[in-house]
Amino acid sequence: MGGTGTSDTIAVRVWRGERHGGFQSFAVPRLANQTVLDVLRFIQRRLDPGLAFRHACRVGVCGSCAVRVNGIARWACRTHLDRVVRDDALELAPLDHLPAVRDLVCDLAPFFDQWTAAGGYFVPRPDADGFAAIAPESPARRAVEAGIECIGCGICYSECDTVGDRPEYLGPAALNRAWTLQNDTRDGARAARLHAVSGDAGCHACHSRFACSERCPKGLSPAASIAALKRQGVAALLGGTR
């Protein structure tokens, strides 16, 4: 599917420079089972050692390799060219909505700052005593399961129009993490976290456009987590527990 499969090279346009830069073209040999990360490594090793991009695990675990491939944010290491090459051409650009550092590298500090602002970290209950026994089949644990596999790649943040419109918006990944913690029965900061995600640029700023859920490489649904946070907020409001 996708590529013509007839040509033995592909024309790869790669973003060079910082915020003000331009695309540079490279001719890269087409190989079987080639990924976007393979293309980037080929360019760096053979054509231009100065090309900057991030990667570490190469197997979809660390979340460091996300770039925009033909305009859509994807994980480079697990994106096969067969799925994305059109007419033997490929365009690679840094993630959207994040400050550019160089070439395909952006500064993820704003992304992770939002995790902190959303209370996206575990706070042990004051009465925590030894190991907690969590039944794997319990509804709360299952709710955690739905969102826990986030690798922090920033793809949802790049794809979210609301993040683009309002940089102060907490964003899908941070809110998704907050929701997993709201279901963590060991956590002792759930009221404070619900408060933290209910601000002006919190979960209520989400338009439920589901771009995050559509693009998450791990198949998570941050949009569903955000909707659940909104419901929890209303429940707290009506229950008078705020």
- Shortest gap between Cβ of 228 and ligand FES (angstroms)? 26
Residues that bind ligand FES (CB under 6 A): 55-58, 60-65, 75, 77
- Here's the x/- map for another protein, 131-170, by CB under 8 A: it reads as -------------------------------x--xx----
- Cβ nearer to ligand FES, comparing 55 with 230: 55
What's the full length of the chain, in residues? 242
- Shortest gap between Cβ of 159 and ligand FES (angstroms)? 16
**How far apart are alpha carbons 27 and 47 in whole angstroms?**
9
* Cα dist from 44 to 7, 52, 153, 216, whole Å: 22, 8, 22, 27
Q: Is 175 helix (H, G, I), strand (E, B) or coil?
A: helix
Binds another protein by CB under 8 A, chosen from 87, 192, 208, 214: 192
Task: Quickly count: other Cβ atoms within 10 Å of residue 118's Cβ.
Answer: 25
* Cα dist from 1 to 4, 8, 86, 121, 220, whole Å: 8, 16, 10, 41, 25
State yes or no: residue 230 binds another protein (CB under 8 A): yes
| Stretch touching another protein by CB under 8 A, among 47-55, 56-64, 80-88, 198-206 | 198-206
- Cβ nearer to ligand FES, comparing 152 with 233: 152
